[in-house]
Homo-oligomer: A and B are copies of this chain.
């Protein structure tokens, strides 16, 4: 045994510094083959209890931890996934929470991949997956021109969260945007509103287009018409919401209610309304979409549509795992949204509000 140890050390060069023990160190120290060590950790039932205990004891004593890198190479899997987001926002943060939870349950780690609004970067993350930097990819962005050019053979396990994607190869976990918006509109209509504006996100996003469709449909269903100037496009931030209100106030006919494509736009709209001397909801009803957690402190409480962000992330990751396990025909999922009525919606004003 000592001989073998000697040989081993000579062959592999003496370690003077204390680097973590490898499986071979364990093997040498215990006089067992590396295979046995490996088996104790991977399939304990395959090894005799006494041997197993002896190995386990040594593992604990010497602090042996299998090298994740080597393991990954041998097993041909990284147990890593990329979570690609277009921009760091509280919304994706909460989706990520669900992703992380599922990942933990399944023994995966999540790499946050921030595309910084650059589709080109999304492609880079794809390349990384192809290069075995990760096993799969979770997308939260609908437009990825380059990645679509990927040949099917190298299309890695992919699940799209929160955003629809028009590629049949992608599995989608999202909400029914059109339906969600319709619910909001229905709420406003029920309150008696007839003049409803729509503040939308950037129209290159498929989800935004879906919402717009839902809005128009719901309005049409209610027999209401939407002047083109009442559909104002912006980014998903408060500034855009505020600007949209300024825009809407310029017109001769003014809406009594606005639906905003997300909560941040809605909050901006409320601020904009205040700036224009409009009270919410007395003069203007505002309804958002997201039910962002951090807005719980906001006053007046924002009427909005809840998107199950955590659940979306969780389900998406679970599906991705199945994908990576080689399962075929993993289906997508459409989660239900829910209208949360708080204080920013009310009956329309009796007489048109006067803006300043």
Residues of A within 8 A of B (CB): 17-18, 20, 63, 65-70, 72-73, 78, 80, 83, 88, 90, 93-94, 96-97, 100, 104, 109-114, 127-128, 130-133, 153-154, 238, 264, 267-268, 271, 274, 294, 296-299
B132 touches A68 (CB 8 A): yes
Given contact pairs A69-B72, A268-B297, A294-B294, A88 touches B78 in the complex (Cβ within 8 A): no
User: Whole-angstrom distance from the CB of A316 to the nearest CB of chain B?
Assistant: 15
Chain B residue numbers with a CB within 8 Å of A63 are 130, 154
Chain B residue numbers with a CB within 8 Å of A20 are 130-131, 154
| Interface SS, A side | helix
Give the copy number: 2
Closest residue on chain B to residue A274 by CB atoms: B299
Closest residue on chain B to residue A271 by CB atoms: B297
How many angstroms between the C-alpha atoms of A56 and B72 in the bound complex?
A: 28
How many angstroms between the C-alpha atoms of A282 and B209 in the bound complex?
A: 46
B109 touches A111 (CB 8 A): yes
User: Whole-angstrom distance from the CB of A326 to the nearest CB of chain B?
Assistant: 12
A297 touches B264 (CB 8 A): yes
User: Whole-angstrom distance from the CB of A223 to the nearest CB of chain B?
Assistant: 35
Chain B residue numbers with a CB within 8 Å of A83 are 112
Given contact pairs A73-B70, A294-B294, A298-B298, A112 touches B96 in the complex (Cβ within 8 A): yes
How many angstroms between the C-alpha atoms of A70 and B16 in the bound complex?
A: 26
- B69, B97, B130: the one within 8 Å of A65 (CB): B130
Give 10 new A-B contacts, CB below 8 A, not counting A17-B153, A68-B132, A88-B94.
A20-B131, A20-B154, A66-B131, A68-B78, A68-B131, A69-B69, A88-B93, A88-B97, A90-B90, A109-B133
* Best-buried of A18, A69, A88, A274 by chain B (most CB within 10 Å): A69
- B66, B69, B298: the one within 8 Å of A73 (CB): B69
B267 touches A297 (CB 8 A): yes
A80 touches B298 (CB 8 A): no
Closest residue on chain B to residue A72 by CB atoms: B69
Closest residue on chain B to residue A114 by CB atoms: B100
A131 touches B297 (CB 8 A): no
How many angstroms between the C-alpha atoms of A277 and B299 in the bound complex?
A: 15
Closest residue on chain B to residue A292 by CB atoms: B294
B274 touches A128 (CB 8 A): no
Chain B residue numbers with a CB within 8 Å of A238 are 296-297
How many angstroms between the C-alpha atoms of A20 and B128 in the bound complex?
A: 12
User: Whole-angstrom distance from the CB of A18 to the nearest CB of chain B?
Assistant: 5
* Best-buried of A20, A264, A294 by chain B (most CB within 10 Å): A294
- B94, B100, B264: the one within 8 Å of A112 (CB): B100
How many angstroms between the C-alpha atoms of A141 and B67 in the bound complex?
A: 26
